[in-house]
Amino acid sequence: MRVGLGYDVHKLVEGRKLIIGGVDIPHEKGLLGHSDADVLTHAVMDSILGALGLGDIGKHFPDTDSKYKGIDSIILLENVYNLIISNGYEIGNIDCTIIAQIPKMAPFIDNMRKNISNALKTDLKNVNVKATTEEGLGFTGAKEGISAQSICLLVKVDN
């Protein structure tokens, strides 16, 4: 078994879609980033890459590479899934937290879980997503950005 921890943060700006967990969430602002800036999916990928001991998403999908400009992060997560399999592991479970003052995430969490579990070819019960606010504190509380945390357990596949 191997465990990895992931964290990501992006600034909220006008003129961008708000994509979290592969879900397009209606909101007047979106997240700034080279890809679609899907903060949750980025945290999940970092937790998996950490568990595999393979660095982080910046190493695998650098923001200096134009082929990742605006890319759907769920596609990147599918690439990370291939690394899981090629290294002889499978998902044990993933637990995530989105930290955002606004918008409310509860209506979208089921779809986020489905998107992540589908990309990782794992049972829905192996992916948990929660959301919280910071009670008006910090950059997320001031509605300047959104962050996400993820922890992942990978289990060695018996051959």
For the annotated binding site, the residues are 8-10, 34-35, 42, 56-58, 61-65, 100-106, 132-135, 139
Tokens of 129: 């997503």
Distance CA 111, CA 115 (A): 6
Q: Which residue ranges make up the annotated binding site for a divalent metal cation?
A: 8, 10, 42
Strand partners, 105: none
DSSP state of 103: S
Distance CA 120, CA 58 (A): 19
Neighbours of 152 (CB within 10 A): 30
Q: Which amino acid is at 72?
A: D
Terminal C-alpha separation, the chain: 15
